[in-house]
Structure 1
């Protein structure tokens, strides 16, 4: 692997982290950090100085004080940072450690904040151009555009396999309200005369069958019944059989429940449940309702063996929450250290487009096409989120929206 020597005034965890991402993970280069000016000047290697001013004729990237600090400072302004500092600010989610207004689900809003382009990736490609111009012998890792379709399974079925108490309670409610149409529909679906409207897993399977390059990941809720966790009973044989069936053609991860955010033991139990059904360790996750709070959520995941999280997006906006469409390791700002948790950002969710942004199917398709073009420019990873429950009723026609992402 080709090597670049980097001079910096101080080697800190933040400096190490950002150059690991920019040069090693993204660009496929090795590098060495030094604070020795004489050693740097005497080296014949490709060289970059990361400091307030240049040393000689090397590539010079201006440093920010932010990168030499160990705390979170409310006086830091993203607009005043230089390129490397901006990349770190976005990837670390620096602003989310500062006091911010949050919504009724205790979530950080993306309104007015969501990056509309993967600017971190764009900046790194510009860095590469600069390096290549100065040092033509340097070769970078080849990146390829990749598509990942993901599905959050909050409820596998709308009517079937809900258990005796919930099923017959629903029948009684239908009768009490005089809603005989719903009563008859429920009866027809539970008896097998009609298909359950949430059983849309075949739509996802068709996509991966037509395009084997598309990765498919299901994030499955394994919670006990609660106000925001209304999935099927986890010990139901049909529920477990469906998970095992789908795992033959798709990847799986846990969908940690709404209430697990404040209960570490619940998270542990839910992961163990899915692991037992699949007969293997669970290493991927995405938070239910996209509940993500720094640093607690990610620390909890790490404590329970999760190695890869897919929550990095906003519930109320499309775009790039961390400014990138490239997976990256989470930097715990509060502890000031790099962790082993890989963060996989996604750029769009069905609920964001229809419910929060109030977009039509056509407007949603246009946004997905725009996002796809932006990601293709940097040969990044396009990850999108659809729910198996969102293809009927008011969601009629959203199969077309999902399919639009995966057409050439």
Structure 2
């Protein structure tokens, strides 16, 4: 909040402090800023908790506190509940990929998934704090737009084996994608460029239009849900090296590795060797997150930053915040060294709006909300976003205008 903060359990030191101070517990110690504790932060295990929401001047809140508390609810316990993904430690009905779906979340059930609720709470908490101590507003960092780009396959048609090209062509035929069959034939024959080959042009554009951009490339053995080129393909290797020279590049953790530490460890080591840099960031392919297993796995392999905290099926804030935070493992009862970078909007969510005007409205709604909170705005795209052929041309045009603020 603009000042150095220290913590103490020494009662005499706390009472003697003459500046702004806050206590957190069962009862206030004096006339300090006091937040009554709900008890969640001191409990053991992950027992089921009944959540009852109430209205806090237009914002949903829970874990209400007595009147003598400076806040009407335990802000710290409520934020911890949401950020730790407490609800995902309990049994749920998984989708076909084993994922926790957004409609089962507290946020979706009570219509605040679209809100960075913790950040809104903090913004109000800050105002109450400043009024309590009659302090000035602090200068806060401006909101920044960051783009993460998933690359599940670098080429749509090129550099694939004859057998794989034939098999994918047959699949296109039975799904009546005749345009794709024709396009594939022209690309394989060298008559037309691969539709995903213009990524470098867009890298230059994105670097001019956003604060930061980073790429996550699938580099693993072929699987049912992992359709990248072979890790032994020389062109594939060279393309990944080239991308890493433009912007931070890290692995898109394969679907298979989400339950296999050996596979993930091999993929991370192989990727680091390829780009000649240690791998410190990661994003989970298809967003298959299982708590605490996935993040425990990442931490054990030396990963420091994760960009997977979002729902595949809905836009919004899975952890109810837009700010990066250190993940707390409820199973081991300890904070991990892994920093989680929430993503609130993805290419799929934008495409689902169907019409250009609605796409723009969705993007701007999130951007405006986060700008007011001085919060990071992280958007996930794929290299398919930059496919300049077929039905994607309209989406690409809309995306370009959105990023150009037109």
What is the aligned-residue RMSD (CA, Å)?
Answer: 2.6
Contact 1:200 1:389 in 2 (8 A): no
Residue equivalent to 1:257? 254
**How far 1:35 moved relative to its partner?**
3.5
- Quickly say closer, same or farther: Cα 1:35–1:179, change in 2 above 3 A: closer
Q: Give the one of 76, 79, 86 matched to 1:84.
A: 76
Partners of 1:260 and 1:244 lie apart in 2 by 22
Contact 2:143 2:374 in 1 (8 A): yes
Contact 2:350 2:363 in 1 (8 A): no
Contact 2:207 2:213 in 1 (8 A): no
Residue equivalent to 1:320? 317
- 1:48 and 2:43 correspond: no
**How far 1:311 moved relative to its partner?**
0.4
Q: Give the one of 211, 219, 222 matched to 1:214.
A: 211
Partners of 2:294 and 2:173 lie apart in 1 by 42
- Quickly say closer, same or farther: Cα 1:271–1:322, change in 2 above 3 A: same
Instruction: Give a deviation string over 1:127-176, Cα, whole Å, max 9, x none.
Output: 22233233356774632211111111111111001134323555677899
1:60-75 mapped onto 2 (5 Å cutoff)? 60-75=34-49
- 1:102 and 2:99 correspond: no
Tell me the matched-pair count.
379
List, as ranges, runs of 4+ consecutive aligned residues in structure 1 with deviation greater than 6 Å.
171-181
**How far 1:217 moved relative to its partner?**
0.8
- 1:157 and 2:155 correspond: yes
Partners of 2:171 and 2:31 lie apart in 1 by 78
Residue equivalent to 2:399? 402
Residue equivalent to 2:329? 332
Partners of 1:40 and 1:92 lie apart in 2 by 29
**How far 1:380 moved relative to its partner?**
1.0
What SS class does the counterpart of residue 7 from structure 2 fall into? strand
- 1:374 and 2:354 correspond: no
Partners of 1:48 and 1:336 lie apart in 2 by 25
**How far 1:45 moved relative to its partner?**
3.0
Contact 1:163 1:233 in 2 (8 A): no
Partners of 1:47 and 1:116 lie apart in 2 by 33
1:278-297 mapped onto 2 (5 Å cutoff)? 278-297=275-294
1:3-402 mapped onto 2 (5 Å cutoff)? 27=1, 29-77=3-51, 79=53, 80-81=62-63, 82=73, 83-111=75-103, 112-113=108-109, 115-136=113-134, 140=138, 142-170=140-168, 184-202=182-200, 204-211=202-209, 213-354=210-351, 357=352, 359-390=354-385, 391=387, 392-402=389-399
Relative to the length of structure 1, the TM-score reads: 0.85
Instruction: Give a deviation string over 1:252-303, Cα, whole Å, max 9, x none.
Output: 1110111111211111111122112211111111111100010000011111
More off after superposition, 141-150 vs 314-323: 141-150
Partners of 2:242 and 2:402 lie apart in 1 by 25
Partners of 2:135 and 2:379 lie apart in 1 by 37
Instruction: Give a deviation string over 1:115-138, Cα, whole Å, max 9, x none.
Output: 211121122222222332333567
- Quickly say closer, same or farther: Cα 1:88–1:184, change in 2 above 3 A: closer
Partners of 2:396 and 2:382 lie apart in 1 by 11
Instruction: Give a deviation string over 1:336-394, Cα, whole Å, max 9, x none.
Output: 1111100000111112343xx56434322211110000110111111111111244444
**How far 1:326 moved relative to its partner?**
0.7
**How far 1:178 moved relative to its partner?**
11
What SS class does the counterpart of residue 250 from structure 2 fall into? strand
Partners of 2:147 and 2:94 lie apart in 1 by 28
Partners of 1:181 and 1:201 lie apart in 2 by 22
Relative to the length of structure 2, the TM-score reads: 0.85
Partners of 1:99 and 1:91 lie apart in 2 by 18
Partners of 1:194 and 1:399 lie apart in 2 by 19
Contact 1:107 1:291 in 2 (8 A): yes
Partners of 1:101 and 1:176 lie apart in 2 by 32
